[in-house]
Structure 1
Amino acid sequence: MNLFLLDSSLTSVLGASVPTSVRSLLILATAALIAGAINAIAGGGSLITFPALLAVGLPSVTANVTNTVALWPGTIGGSVAYRRELRCQSKRIWILGTVGFVGGLLGSFILLISPQSVFDLIVPFLILFACGLLLVQKRIAKWILTSRDGKGENLLSPGILLGQFLAAVYGGYFGAGLGIITLAILGLFLDDDLQRINALKGVLTLIINGIAALYFAVFGNVVWPLALLMAVCSWTGGFLGVRVARRLNPDVLRLLVVIYGIVVSIRLMLS
């Protein structure tokens, strides 16, 4: 079967409104596979998959909601793996998770009621912001390790509640870099081991991205065939990423993702 006939067959199965060329599906499958591996090793996978969805012709808001739904299942494994570090953190999860739930819902709502033109205008800067967060990710982790002061914590303090709420709104609206923002907020207000804070960060981002994915699934224009394809590939990439993590330098990988994100944002600004 030649590519033209294969493209026609895919169109008849998936629908004319879905990018169905073999080339488009290969681009998205490869991007999701790479993103899953990157998330397992260094983080920043959304900076690969979101531009890929734009590249195959999806409008930016549709690409964003499809990307959120596609990558969310891959975040579950991290929380399962951190279950030991999550012990005795139920109070933190309930309080900050509730704040994250409300903020993520609000961010998702704002995205879907905003004009497409507004999101198109600011998305290059959101990508640059996410790239900047990825660059300082390691410094944030180092700062958390060296800034422990032995003070008690107040989970109801305005600082941590407002910080978590704003991070969640951002996560529901766009999402790339949410984990780094959340890690910084938790490190600023909580006095604990980095691994436990990282585990808590994983649960909170799981909640925020989860409510966003659910909201988009009900009210957004999710391209489900592409979301399912990318979900499977990102799961596979995450599994492979864990297996090869010890062989790669996360700093180099992180830098390559940042360079790619900068190139994409510049191209979007000029288009």
Structure 2
Amino acid sequence: MEWWQLLLIALAGAAAGLINTVVGSGTLITFPTLLALGIPPVLANVSNCIGLAPGSFAGALAGRAELAGQRARILRYGAASLLGAVVGALLLLRLPSAAFDAIVPVLIGLGVLLVIVGPALSRRVAAYRERHGQQADTSGPAWLWPAIVVTGAYGGYFGAAQGVLVIAVMGVALTETLARVNALKNVLTGIANGVAGVVFVLISEVDWVVVALLAVGSVLGAQVGARVGRRLPPKVYRVVIVVVGLAAIVNLLR
């Protein structure tokens, strides 16, 4: 690759790390960037997943104050996210690559849609909480564990807007502040990325240059997101994500 292409990947990783820490869906920045540089879809997805995992964990560590008292949830739902991620990663590697190539525009479109409807989901969650009161909830309903397995599988297979899905599900199930739910989301998506990444390393081809650039960029971006990124309106991030996602869909369908 040319030097400017390497720089572009690192910058995309930084943007994804920042966005993932604040609102999620950073994959909708990095994945289209890798496709635009000519990297095959499955290889791009595998390398993207591994490269963004360090940023997810960095974002989780940066928000550790909001994780206080959530150890039991991390263990319970971390196991669910782990299981789902393994299933999703194996599906990605075992299904024909042509199947992934065909479904990529649909997955990106789903991610963009989730980003667009995210504010409406948040309002519905707030209304649900108001109707059902604010009693303390230490573990969550029985349906939450399999729901996190499903979001983990989605993250292991592709991952775009997984964070939006996790926040929507946990926001309904748990009576918590958005900050604490978001911190838990960062842990669960980090687990999904990390576990899927391990599976990919063991049985798939990986572009390690891309991984290294995304990893460094995403960790730096996560630190920025934790410190100053929340000062910007989430709408700014959503607009960027939607524009890049739609551009990727148009490019893939040409």
The two structures share one fold, judged by TM-score above 0.5: yes
- Which one of 119, 122, 126 corresponds to residue 138 of structure 1? 119
- Which one of 76, 87, 92 corresponds to residue 111 of structure 1? 92
Q: TM-score normalised to the size of structure 1? A: 0.84
Specify the code of the residue in structure 2 equivalent to 1:109. L
Aligned to 2:149: 165
Q: Distance in 1 between matches of 2:91 and 2:14?
A: 30
Aligned to 1:12: none
Task: Please state how far the C-alpha of 1:152 moved relative to its aligned partner.
Answer: 6.9
Q: Distance in 2 between matches of 1:197 and 1:247?
A: 18
Aligned to 1:123: 104
Aligned to 2:75: 94
Aligned to 1:6: none
Conservation of the 8 A alpha-carbon contact between 2:23 and 2:163: no
Greater RCO, CA 8 A, separation 6+: 2
Task: Please state how far the C-alpha of 1:67 moved relative to its aligned partner.
Answer: 0.3
Aligned to 1:193: 177
Task: Please state how far the C-alpha of 1:241 moved relative to its aligned partner.
Answer: 4.4
Aligned to 2:61: 80
Aligned to 1:217: 201
Conservation of the 8 A alpha-carbon contact between 2:53 and 2:193: yes
After TM superposition, the structure 1 stretch with the greater mean CA deviation from structure 2, 91-100 or 236-245, is 236-245
Task: Please state how far the C-alpha of 1:194 moved relative to its aligned partner.
Answer: 2.3
Consecutive unaligned residues in structure 1, runs of 5 or more? 1-19
Conservation of the 8 A alpha-carbon contact between 2:155 and 2:193: yes
1:251/1:204 CA distance change after superposition, 3 Å:
same
Q: Distance in 2 between matches of 1:82 and 1:245?
A: 13
**RMSD across aligned C-alpha pairs, in angstroms?**
2.2
Task: Please state how far the C-alpha of 1:175 moved relative to its aligned partner.
Answer: 0.6
- Output one character per residue of 1:71-119: Cα deviation in whole Å (capped at 9) or x when no partner: 1101112222332322222222222111111111110011011111000
Q: Distance in 2 between matches of 1:242 and 1:89?
A: 19
1:166/1:111 CA distance change after superposition, 3 Å:
same
1:222/1:42 CA distance change after superposition, 3 Å:
same
Aligned to 1:181: 165
Task: Please state how far the C-alpha of 1:243 moved relative to its aligned partner.
Answer: 5.4
Specify the code of the residue in structure 1 equivalent to 2:191. I
Aligned to 1:261: 245
Equivalent position SS for 2:67: coil
Consecutive unaligned residues in structure 2, runs of 5 or more? none
In the alignment, is residue 53 of structure 1 matched against residue 27 of structure 2?
no
Equivalent position SS for 2:69: coil
Identical-pair percentage:
39
